[in-house]
Amino acid sequence: MQLDKLIEEWLVLGLQDLNSAKFLMDMKPIPLEIVGFHCQQAVEKYLKAFLIKHNIEPDKTHDLLFLLNQCKKYDEKFITLTKTCAQLIEYAVKICYPYPGSLDIAVIQHAVHLADEAISFVKTRLVDSHQG
């Protein structure tokens, strides 16, 4: 598969995750764990797209901090996503296990905001790495 096409597929899937998270916020009751999961997945897919852009086949992992550390090797500005990735990483598995009472709407709204910002950041870095 052509590299640019593969990157685009990762970006489309990541955007679908983010859009799904936003859509699910209108459900009653809001499926908090599922929204968090989609936020984590969106950022994971964008980080993997960035790595592919640099000819790195991403590991099959959901560990956002691991992926972020790989991205930082190619662009030190990724350090700004450290807190975001640390906060979103827990949603990779949280959906699989019951955590009654540990999530609320404000926490999940923040997760959606973090994912949205992270995706915008990675998009910018993809454009900059393409130009540089």
Tens-place pLDDT, residues 74-107: 999 999 999 999 999 989 876 666 666 678 899 9
Residue 131 confidence class, pLDDT cut points 50, 70, 90: low
> Across residues 42-50, what is the average pLDDT?
98
Give the rounded percent of residues in the chain with a pLDDT score beyond 70: 90
The CATH code belonging to domain 6-96+112-127 is 1.20.120.330
Residue pair 68/85 in contact (Cβ under 8 Å)? The answer is yes
Domain positions in the chain are 6-96+112-127
pLDDT of residue 97: 66
Given a cut of 80, is residue 108 above it in pLDDT?
yes
Containing 14, the helix (H) or strand (E) segment is helix 3-24
Closest CA to 66 of 51, 55, 52: 51
